[in-house]
């Protein structure tokens, strides 16, 4: 969105409204994506806040891509760095999914489904989990994911295909065992 680049310039000039709009538009999806990579929600929130702090001070060499891709690349790399720093295999079975406020019943059903899906996603190998996070939690296209991760687009497509297939099998296995 060209508008986001313009709002960034306004925010850098001190416009708090522009800054708030950028933050509100991108914070939720970035937290979802980074929490899927890191495995915990609180560090993911810290990573996203760090992205926004860096955004104010970083030198942007070009604006060929979208603002969302630029910000997601920054968040993705920080999440990988944090994950490496932690060097653990923690599970996030109780991931808090940031969302609009549904009714209590809808929320309970959604939370249970989200927990099941997140458990399955967390059981994927890292290279599949990261691609799934970028595609489905952050909404990036295959081309954007290839740029963000630095891998060929064919590899992106293959990993998404195999990750979805694996998730489907694991979800079906869990349903039959209930």
Please give the domain boundaries of the chain with CATH numbers for all domains.
2-87+97-177 (1.10.10.10)
Predicted local confidence at residue 103, as pLDDT: 57
Q: What is the pLDDT of residues 139-149, one digit of tens each?
A: 889 999 999 99
Task: For residue 36, give both structure tokens.
Answer: 């899927």
Separation CA 21–CA 43 (nearest Å): 23
Name which residue leads in pLDDT, 63 or 120.
Answer: 120
pTM here? 0.59
User: Mean of the per-residue pLDDT values for the chain?
Assistant: 81
Q: What is the pLDDT of residues 13-35, one digit of tens each?
A: 888 898 899 889 999 889 888 88
**Backbone angles phi and psi of 172, in degrees to 5:** -65, -40
Residue pair 119/9 in contact by the 8 Å Cβ criterion: no
CA dihedral over 118, 30, 125, 167, signed as positive or negative: positive
Average pLDDT rounded to a whole number, residues 79-104: 60
Residue pair 73/151 in contact by the 8 Å Cβ criterion: no
Predicted local confidence at residue 95, as pLDDT: 47
What share of residues in the chain are helix, strand, coil (percent, to 5)? 75, 0, 25
Residue pair 91/39 in contact by the 8 Å Cβ criterion: yes
Tokens 């099998």 -> residue: 169
Residue pair 53/105 in contact by the 8 Å Cβ criterion: no
Separation CA 86–CA 76 (nearest Å): 15
Q: In whole angstroms, what separates CA 146 from the centre of its chain?
A: 15
Quote the crossing angle between the two packed helices 67-86 and 16-38, to the nearest 10°: 40
Tokens 């001190």 -> residue: 14
């Amino acid at each position: 969105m060209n508008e986001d680049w313009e709002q960034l310039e306004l925010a850098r000039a001190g416009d708090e409204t522009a800054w708030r709009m950028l933050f509100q538009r991108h914070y939720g999806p970035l937290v979802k994506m980074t929490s899927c990579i890191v495995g915990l929600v609180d560090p993911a929130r810290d990573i996203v806040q760090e992205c926004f702090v860096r955004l104010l001070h970083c030198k942007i060499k070009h604006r060929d891509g979208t603002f969302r891709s630029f910000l997601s690349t920054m968040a993705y790399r920080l999440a990988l760095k944090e994950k490496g720093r932690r060097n653990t295999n923690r599970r996030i079975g109780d991931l808090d999914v940031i969302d609009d406020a549904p009714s209590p019943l809808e929320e309970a059903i959604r939370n249970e489904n989200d927990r099941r899906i997140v458990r399955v996603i967390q059981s994927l190998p890292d290279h599949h989990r990261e691609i799934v996070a970028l595609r489905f939690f952050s909404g990036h296209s295959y081309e954007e994911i290839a740029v963000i991760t630095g891998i060929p687009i064919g590899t992106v497509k293959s990993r998404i295909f195999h990750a979805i297939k694996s998730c489907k099998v694991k979800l079906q296995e869990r349903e039959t065992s209930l």
